[in-house]
Amino acid sequence: MASLTDEISRRRTFAIISHPDAGKTTLTEKLLLFGGAIHVAGAVKSNKIKKTATSDWMEIEKQRGISVATSVMGFNYGDYKINILDTPGHQDFAEDTYRTLTAVDSVIIVVDVAKGVEQQTRKLMEVCRMRNTPVIIFVNKLDREGRDPFDILDELEAELKIAVRPLSWPINIGAKFKGVYNIYEQSLDLFTPSKTQVTERVEIDSVDDPRIDEAVGEKDAAKLREDLELIEGVYPEFSSDDYLAGKVAPVFFGSALNTFGVKELLDCFVKIAPSPRPVKAEERMVEPAEEPFSGFVFKIHANMDPNHRSCIAFVKVCSGKFERNAPYRHVRSGKTMRFAAPTAFMAQKKSVVDEAYPGDIVGIPDTGSFKIGDTITQGEDLHYRGLPSFSPEMFKYIENTDPMKAKQLDKGLQQLMDEGVAQLFVNQFNGRKIVGTVGQLQFEVIQYRLLHEYGATVRWEPLSMFKACWIESDDPAALEAFKKRKHQFMAIDREGRDVFMADSNYVLQMAQNDFPKIRFHFTSEF
């Protein structure tokens, strides 16, 4: 039997993040392909064959070609057990991605060679920096015309504020793209544009090997040697300690669509990426190798299976060994629970698991007892933190258009809000329900899912609102006075906390000046 420490050291749990369209879902698929988890890539977009990507399985994702929910996929690769969390790149779902980053040990960022670093990628990198998460960068779409690789490296350093170190190097790009020299393993991989066959590798002894000239031509071989000399001169030697400390990001080049450069990325990744790390709870630091099990819920997903109206809570195992049917404690409620059918995922194919180790993600059927951020332990009172709800930036009144379906609407709203897709407020003045999100697309997703999953029809009514802020005060009289004076703008959230709905920045600043005893918060964690 493998010991707990063996199981921990062979696990790699990471998220793939990027701007929309940089090729993240395609990369995820190709990694699954190498792991033997799928046998045919779903990147076929021809009219004859309609297959959709393995990791995008919600109906609306298939229609719009974007990932809106984080998918969790596990597979074995050699001696390693790999858990990938594919995150939505679309900025309207940034919050889901922020939460996912709390459940991973490292990150792969995908950057489009033509577009470079985009705003969304910068924001996500900030979250990685806050947590010192190690980052590997994959520069994608080299078979298309793009920018000079040295320019891309400069931009990565400037925009992502992290030192970079190329571990592979392209020979030309776009139409003239011939392949990649793997600096990490000192080998040469030739490119043939094909979605089905994997790279052809040329055996070489060193960068001066004449076989390189034969393979790519003298001119390109000379340019490659010149580039490599420049890289060695400009960038420090790769140090895995600096990578693990989040100080330097290794960079790989390739084309995910053509399955090129992906295996090189994966082979290097499993060697250098961190196994599950200690996790900070409010009470203390929790080591993965501790015997007692503990974990936290970082995501809740309604209707994984449209035939059963069930929710699934995704639990990241932080320490010890999770076992099916063992009694565990739900810290927030103090109840003891047993989980008869915990599942592990391969996109939407899920299978019941008997045990899971630190780094693994387990799906637990949820009948409404879990919230995002809940901790489950073998008995100890631990609270894992770091899953904030951000103040929404867009607001609309939600109106039921079919009074006969009020019950379905309430249930649907409750489950979708539990997922953390959006936030629900009730206006104290007129009792109307307000939905707040960070992006326009979420309103469409909510409306679509309420109709298709719960049979409830709703319409949105515009509401001009600047910010929702949670308020509190040590002086009850001051709080009362504020609520009286602003009664038209007061709402409560689902936890029953007071929320002030400011309709402009000016109104918010005036309120902050006029009521010095009130504290205004822009995330729900305070």
Question: Which domains are seen in the chain, by residue range?
Answer: 13-71+99-272 (3.40.50.300), 279-377 (3.40.50.300), 394-521 (3.30.70.3280)
Alpha helical stretches, state H, 273-352: none
- Spatial separation of the C-alpha atoms in residues 18 and 64, rounded to whole Å: 17
**Residue range 301-315: mean pLDDT, rounded:** 67
- Please tell me whether residue 248 adopts helix, strand or coil conformation: strand
- Spatial separation of the C-alpha atoms in residues 11 and 123, rounded to whole Å: 27
Q: Which residue is associated with the tokens 């298939």? A: 62
Radius of gyration of the chain (CA): 25
For residues 450 and 415, is the Cβ–Cβ distance under 8 A? no
Q: DSSP string covering 420-467, please?
A: TSSEEEEETTT--EEEEESSHHHHHHHHHHHHHHH---EEEEE----E
Instruction: Give the residue among 430, 433, 435, 436 at the shortest CA–CA distance from 488.
Output: 430
**Burial class of residue 9, CB neighbours in 10 A (0-12, 13-18, 19+):** middle
pLDDT at 366: 79
> pLDDT for 290-302, tens place per residue?
999 999 888 877 6
Q: In what order do the strands lie in the sheet with 168-171?
A: 168-171, 179-182, 187-190, 200-202
For residues 276 and 359, is the Cβ–Cβ distance under 8 A? yes
Quote the mean pLDDT of the chain: 80
**Residue range 429-455: mean pLDDT, rounded:** 84
Instruction: Give the residue among 106, 154, 84, 115 at the shortest CA–CA distance from 19.
Output: 115
- Spatial separation of the C-alpha atoms in residues 514 and 171, rounded to whole Å: 63
**Residue range 444-470: mean pLDDT, rounded:** 86
**Residue range 30-41: mean pLDDT, rounded:** 63
- Please tell me whether residue 92 adopts helix, strand or coil conformation: helix
Beta strand 375-377 with 433-437 is: unpaired
Decide if pLDDT at 67 tops 80: no
Dihedral angle over CA of 157, 88, 413, 480, nearest 10: 0
pLDDT at 258: 80
- Spatial separation of the C-alpha atoms in residues 80 and 445, rounded to whole Å: 36
Q: Which of 36-50, 77-91, 220-234, 276-290 has the lowest mean pLDDT?
A: 36-50
What residues does 111 pair with on adjacent strands? 139
Q: Name, in order, each residue with C-beta under 8 angstroms of 502's C-beta and a sequence gap of 6 or more.
A: 465, 466, 467, 468, 469, 489, 508, 511
pLDDT at 299: 80
Q: Which of 28-42, 59-73, 237-251, 341-355 has the lowest mean pLDDT?
A: 59-73
Helix or strand holding residue 483 (H, E)? helix 476-485
Angle at 512 between CA 508 and CA 518, to 5 degrees: 120
- Spatial separation of the C-alpha atoms in residues 95 and 88, rounded to whole Å: 10
pLDDT at 525: 60
- Spatial separation of the C-alpha atoms in residues 423 and 467, rounded to whole Å: 13
| Residue-wise burial string across 294-321, b where 16 or more C-beta atoms lie within 10 A, e elsewhere | bbbbbbbbbbbeeeeeebbbbbbbbbbb
- Spatial separation of the C-alpha atoms in residues 166 and 181, rounded to whole Å: 11
Say which amino acid occupies 297. Answer: V
- Spatial separation of the C-alpha atoms in residues 98 and 90, rounded to whole Å: 12
What residues does 450 pair with on adjacent strands? none
| Three-class DSSP labels, 25-58 | HHHHHHHHHHCCCCCCCCCCCCCCCCCCCCCCCC
pLDDT-based confidence at residue 449 (cuts at 50, 70, 90): confident
Decide if pLDDT at 50 tops 50: no
For residues 75 and 7, is the Cβ–Cβ distance under 8 A? no
Handedness of CA 334, 280, 287, 318 (dihedral sign): positive
**Residue range 357-381: mean pLDDT, rounded:** 84
Q: Which of 73-82, 85-94, 181-190, 231-240 has the lowest mean pLDDT?
A: 85-94
| Residue-wise burial string across 369-393, b where 16 or more C-beta atoms lie within 10 A, e elsewhere | ebbbbbbbbbebebebebbbbebbe
pLDDT-based confidence at residue 169 (cuts at 50, 70, 90): confident
- Spatial separation of the C-alpha atoms in residues 185 and 425, rounded to whole Å: 55
pLDDT at 347: 47
DSSP letter for 98, please.
H
**Residue range 207-224: mean pLDDT, rounded:** 76
- Pick the more confident residue, 91 or 11: 11
Instruction: Give the residue among 469, 458, 454, 456 at the shortest CA–CA distance from 433.
Output: 458
pLDDT at 250: 92
> Strands, E, within 281-321: which ranges?
285-286, 294-302, 311-319
Q: Name, in order, each residue with C-beta under 8 angstroms of 385's C-beta and a sequence gap of 6 or more.
A: 280, 281, 282, 373, 525
